[in-house]
Amino acid sequence: MRMRDGEAAGRGRRAPAVPDSGVRRWPPRGRPGVADMLLAVSLAYVCAWNPPMITEQPAGALRNALVDSGAYVIILAVCCVAIALRRLAPTVAVVAVGVALAAHVLIFDGLSILAIVACLVAVETCTSRVPRPHAWPLAALGYLGGAVGALRADKLIDPPTPGAELIVLAVSWAFITVAVLTGLLRRRARERIEQALERAEVLAAQQEAERRLAVVAERQRIARDVHDLLGHSLSVIGMQAEGARAVLATNPAAAAEALAVIGRTSRRSVSEVHSLVDMLRADVDESPMARPSPQSDGSAAPGGSSPGLDDVPRLVTGARRAGLPLTLDLRCDAEPPAPVGEAAYRCVQEALTNVMRHAASAPTKVRVRGEDGGVDIVVENAEPISAGGGAAGALDDDTRRGAGLQTMRERVVALNGRLWAGERSEGGWRVHVTLPAPPHLTQAQPGQAA
Q: Which of 204, 232, 262 is the last residue of a domain?
A: 204
The mean-pLDDT minimum among 194-203, 230-239, 294-303, 377-386 falls in 294-303
Q: What is the structure's pLDDT at 160? A: 66
Asked if 39 and 82 sit in the same domain, the reply is yes
Whether 296 is covered by a domain: the verdict is no
Sort residue 251 into left (φ over 0), alpha (ψ -120 to 50) or beta: beta
Asked if 227 and 181 sit in the same domain, the reply is no
Q: What is the structure's pLDDT at 157? A: 61
Asked if 242 and 172 sit in the same domain, the reply is no
Q: What is the structure's pLDDT at 104? A: 86
Q: What is the mean pLDDT of residues 10-20?
A: 45
Q: CA 131, CA 215: separation in Å to the nearest integer?
A: 43
Asked if 156 and 278 sit in the same domain, the reply is no
Q: CA 210, CA 448: separation in Å to the nearest integer?
A: 42
281-324 per-position pLDDT tens digit: 764 445 444 444 444 444 444 444 577 888 889 888 878 877 78
Asked if 324 and 261 sit in the same domain, the reply is no
Q: What DSSP string runs through 239-266?
A: HHHHHHHHHTTT-HHHHHHHHHHHHHHH
CATH number of the domain that residue 260 is part of? 1.20.5
With vertex at residue 431, the alpha carbon angle to CA 321 and CA 442, rounded to the nearest 5 degrees, is 90
Whether 18 is covered by a domain: the verdict is no
Q: Which structural domain, as residue segments, surrounds residue 234?
A: 215-282
CATH number of the domain that residue 319 is part of? 3.30.565.10
Q: What is the structure's pLDDT at 407? A: 80
Q: What is the structure's pLDDT at 401? A: 55
The mean-pLDDT minimum among 115-129, 339-353, 391-405 falls in 391-405
Asked if 94 and 182 sit in the same domain, the reply is yes
Q: CA 278, CA 225: separation in Å to the nearest integer?
A: 13
Residue 264 half-sphere exposure toward CB, CA atoms < 13 A: 18
With vertex at residue 10, the alpha carbon angle to CA 7 and CA 14, rounded to the nearest 5 degrees, is 140
Residue 395 DSSP code: G
- CA atoms 344, 346, 349, 353: torsion sign: negative
302 in Cβ contact with 278 (< 8 Å): yes
Asked if 254 and 356 sit in the same domain, the reply is no
174-204 per-position pLDDT tens digit: 999 999 999 999 999 989 999 999 999 999 9
Strand partners, 375: 370, 435
Whether 108 is covered by a domain: the verdict is yes
Give me the helices (H) in 303-422, please. Answer: 312-321, 338-358, 403-414
Residue 169, CA distances (Å) to 147, 153, 183, 306 in order:
6, 9, 21, 87
**Residue whose C-alpha is closest to residue 57's, from 48, 46, 69, 65:** 65
- CA atoms 30, 33, 38, 44: torsion sign: negative
Question: What pTM was computed for the model?
Answer: 0.49
More confident residue, 40 or 260: 40
Q: CA 65, CA 124: separation in Å to the nearest integer?
A: 33
| Number of domains, the chain | 3
Asked if 167 and 261 sit in the same domain, the reply is no
Q: What is the structure's pLDDT at 188? A: 93
Whether 271 is covered by a domain: the verdict is yes
Asked if 192 and 220 sit in the same domain, the reply is no
Query: What mean pLDDT is reported for the chain?
Result: 76
Q: Is pLDDT of 13 > 90?
A: no
